Amino acid sequence: MELVEQMLSGNMASLARLVSLIEGGSSEVSHIMKLVYPHTGKAYRVGLTGPPGLGKSTIVDRLTAVARSQGLRVGIIAVDPTSPFSGGALLGDRIRMQQHYLDEGVFIRSMATRGSLGGLPRTVSEVINVIDASGKDIILIETVGVGQSELDIIKNVDTVIVVLAPESGDNIQTMKAGLLEIADIFMVNKADRPGADDLISEMRAMLQLHSEQTQWEIPIVATEAVNNVGIDELYRQIQLHRECVNETGLLAQRRQQQRREQFINTLEKEISAELLEIIKQDGQLNRYVDDVEKGEIDPYSAADKVLNSKAFLITLSQQLSQRKRPGN
């Protein structure tokens, strides 16, 4: 596939087109990913998550500058509707980000959240892999929300940074136990604001309380991203965590798990797609949908009838084995 060839040879326009194909759910995704996969696994993936309004995009902006100063190529994925990278936030923020938009060594992509309020898009892991294959050294993924997106992110990155700020205090209180489970690095941004010291000591106490026998001690990094304060330390902690997961084998383990999930997900997705297709085309099955909608049969009995129908099972296996996908 020419587009993939071009992307692999460093053409950023081709990369952008491939990402669009993936996001749009093109029927060529499976074919694209087969070609892309052998070239993945080199980029280090860092996720930043936390409530909106805490300056996550500024942090991504600053981290990108540090990585670029070391000659590294950077991919940025903003799944945050409030991010200047994805067109949200204030005009000033967006202008500030433009230095990276003009930099050939930086690829920036914003992705829509799954719903209007959050959740990582289902295609994010494919997009990460394509950007990885294009030769980026580090990929920064910015997500927002207190909810499903945090759970998704640990499945897709190597280091998770949870961003808090003094103003997030009250709401975040109750979430602490959950945040603890996913954070590799805590950072307190806007550390010059009132309440920052209290927040840091509270978090330190909480970390001591929950400390487990692991090789990695979760650090708390205080930053003022707008003033570029603490960013070098944050970058250093990312490096330290990277070394740690490398040495302990945790990185290999996480990536194994990611590949396994990708496999099962792909199977489920393909089978579900055929299922929906069959239901759409088959008159008998369509009648079940009607009956269920009208309440004439309950959804569970209807599902049973479908799964016990020989005709359905024969069609399903025929369709699955005859899937005509481009490139198959």
**2 CB neighbour count, 10 Å cutoff:** 7
Considering the complex, what minimum distance in angstroms separates the CB of residue 192 from a copy of itself?
17
Shortest approach of a copy of itself to residue 236 CB, angstroms? 27
Q: Toward a copy of itself, which CB reaches closer, 106 or 131? A: 131
Provide the minimum distance between the beta carbon of 21 and a copy of itself in the complex, in angstroms, as a whole number.
Answer: 14
Write the interaction track for a copy of itself spanning residues 253-292; mark x where CB under 8 A is met and - where it is not: --xxx-xx-xxx-xxx-xxx--xx--x--------xx--x
Nearest to 191 by CA among 233, 153, 146: 233
* Nearest residue (CB) to a copy of itself, 68 versus 114: 114
164 or 231, CB closer to a copy of itself? 164
By CB under 8 A, name the one of 177, 194, 209, 215 that touches a copy of itself.
177
Structure tokens at 120: 């990582």
- Interface of this chain with a copy of itself, residues 197 to 236, rule: CB under 8 A: none
Q: How far is the CB of 178 from a copy of itself (least distance, A)?
A: 4
Whether the CB-CB separation of 132 and 40 falls below 8 Å is answered with yes
By CB under 8 A, the residues from 27 to 86 that bind a copy of itself are 30, 33-34, 37-38, 41, 51-53, 81-82
Q: Does position 112 bind a copy of itself by CB under 8 A? A: no
Query: Between 6 and 30, whose beta carbon lies closer to a copy of itself?
Result: 30
Which of 248, 30, 271, 47 lies closest to 139 in space, CA to CA?
A: 47
**One residue of 11, 26, 148, 228 binding a copy of itself per CB under 8 A:** 148
Q: How far apart are CA 88 and CA 94, in angstroms?
A: 8
Cα–Cα distance measured from residue 13 to residue 5, given in angstroms and rounded to the nearest whole number: 12
Q: How many residues sit close enough to a copy of itself to count as binding (CB under 8 A)? A: 80
Measured from the CB atom, is 249 or 299 closer to a copy of itself? 299
Q: 126 or 224: whose CB is closer to a copy of itself?
A: 126
Residue 62, SS3 per DSSP: helix
Nearest of 146, 184, 145, 157 to residue 47 by alpha carbon:
157
> What's the closest the beta carbon of residue 171 comes to a copy of itself, in angstroms?
6
CB of 262 to a copy of itself, least distance (A): 4
CB-count exposure of residue 283 (10 Å: 0-12, 13-18, 19+): exposed
C-alpha atoms less than 13 angstroms from C-alpha of 214 in its C-beta half-sphere: 16
- Residue with Cβ nearer a copy of itself (44 or 235): 44
Query: Tokens for 61?
Result: 């902006």
First to last CA, the chain: 12
Q: Which of 24, 71, 92, 115 binds a copy of itself (CB under 8 A)?
A: 115
Length of the chain: 328
> Closest separation between CB of residue 14 and a copy of itself, Å?
19
Token digits of residue 152: 């998704």
What is the spatial distance between Cα 207 and Cα 190, in angstroms, rounded to a whole number? 21
**Residue 313, interface with a copy of itself (CB under 8 A)?**
yes
| Cα→Cα distances 96→58, 139, 222, 235, Å | 9, 20, 22, 20
